[in-house]
A and B are shown apart, each in its own frame.
Chain A
């Protein structure tokens, strides 16, 4: 009898960490904003001190500017972004039927440039691409994230989740080891967040510029001494998609400010 109880207790204790680890329940999901100090929060909250708004302004100008051999502006098809782009970024990365895979917002902008404007693609992390992405995503500010709800995207969400759970690099760490299991603690001086991608592209004070979620993921991979995936690689898009689906229900903040 006693031995049975001991086994039961032992089973419970070995099973408990496995139950505690893993996904964050919806009501416990928190934006990176809640991990920041009051000064950085104030910087994000006021549109005249948020440096990300400079990119949004540039993006607004690009939206209306005719470009490519088709000599068309984004506005010529999409009209006023305030209505046509509202809520769009909250659904990205989104499944593209013709490509048969999900595409991120910056990739969608480049596809649009190629297909409808006959313009050269903008390089990843270039000022113009970030500005356009920020302008489009800004129209979704305050709207809850719903990316990954599309049934066709589910296999890619699963792929992203597998990558999130997979240990990598010389430090042999998976994303989940910090961002599911140890958020609210500190890594040296910096708070460990849940890694919810609510405000991309966002202004990172460390970068002194706006950057995409792909750039943030790549710098985390370099941090664990892993070889980072290339910009635009399917693995990065799958990770972005999983992260967005993991942040389901949180409000968009673009352009966010982060330390």
Chain B
């Protein structure tokens, strides 16, 4: 097969279509396109059990992160709190549903779907690869992986805690709640999960099991 022999030695840059001869890389090194410096591939560092552990940890933090108070305002004796979920809902209720949906997608739905998707992929890789239905589901999940990881904006939300607490401290006393801790932990765990995850490696796992 001509196609297969070419495939193993050569790759193309996804940004500029340059033909590149593949080389084995030492671990922790990333191959860049010599013409346009796009990241091409790196050594797969993708431990399935490690990812499973991170997924479960992320799920544990997910619900308190979204439904426990993240900010508390003490104003003339009254205490108000808000959660991440209420934040999205409040702008939605004011009639700014585009903004509400954007916040909901980037901070609540995006991370949730990302974690669930990776969890499902791991379970299929571990136990379901021989069943055609699960192989097909894995293929569909992998196709949406890029979109989901772009939709997840936890790091930006963590910075926005700081910015809003500083902004509001001009008017009254602001305290962080339990949700802030859980959300920051969710961010860190998801960060490590995404570093561990390698989309190309997941595709080869699907390929290698015919």
Are A and B a genuine interacting pair, yes or no? no
